[in-house]
Amino acid sequence: MILILLGPPGSGKGTQAKKLSEQRGWPQLSTGDMLRSAVSRKTDLGLKAKAFMDKGELVSDSVVIGLIAERTQDPDCAKGFILDGFPRTVPQSEALDDMLATRSKSVDLAVEFQIDHEELVDRLSGRRTCSKCGEMFHIKSKKPLKKDICDLCGSALVQRPDDQESVIQNRLQVYNAQTAPLIEYYEDQGKLSRLNAAQSPEQVQEDLIDLIASLSVG
Ligand code: AMP
């Protein structure tokens, strides 16, 4: 199963990818996580990517395509994988299709997470992320037991630099301009399904599992 989770920042792709990965064993491939790891390790790639990420701009197609081309060769990807935050531009989608074709594979399903942008600003600006394990919290809807401390590993919670309100608007504009066209790209291929991402995470998970099940049956 090669599954793409498509949707604006804050629509819950990462949360759902993680749950699905735990259930089905398909690894979650998040280019955002890969880039943040490169930033924290201060690699050449990380140093270059940071300036774009902090402003809410996309890093270059060639960088993220390279990351995915390499990661998908790992043995744990043999039975499939979940793409979270990739592709984000039409050239990335085309590169993905070409890359998979050379391996006699193709995308099975792209799921669009639909949600109003006002709800996203609230979700993103209140989001706090564990600096160590990456678990996500929210200052209103998913408070940690101890303020600013991760319930799971006890490390400090931080606000991602790009979750600051000034950057959020730009990320949403970038999504509309560069990523939203992928909806049509996968619709034209007959691979697009949609779900209501404003529902509870549990309900979204159920809907996502139903979509995958209907694909396996149909
Ligand atoms: P995310 O965690 O998916 O919201 O990604 C955080 C940031 O990483 C984005 O705002 C971009 O700067 C960069 N990024 C992640 N994935 C991609 C991608 N597929 N193409 C370009 N930039 C990306």
> What's the token pair of residue 127?
């989001």
Is 127 an active-site residue? yes
> CA angle, 67 as apex, 13 and 100 as ends, to 5°?
80
Ligand 1 centre to CA of 57 (Å) is 8
Q: Is the pTM of this model over 0.85?
A: yes
Give the residues surrounding ligand 1 with Cβ less than 6 Å away: 9, 31-32, 35, 52-53, 56-59, 64, 85-86, 88, 92, 162, 171
CA of 218 to the centre of ligand 1 (A): 33
Low-confidence ranges of the chain (pLDDT < 50): 218
The pLDDT value given to residue 217: 55
147 catalytic, yes or no?
no
pLDDT tens digits along 62-111: 999 999 999 999 999 999 999 999 999 999 999 999 999 999 999 999 99
User: Which helix (H) or strand (E) covers residue 114, if one does?
Assistant: strand 109-114
Amino acid at 202: E
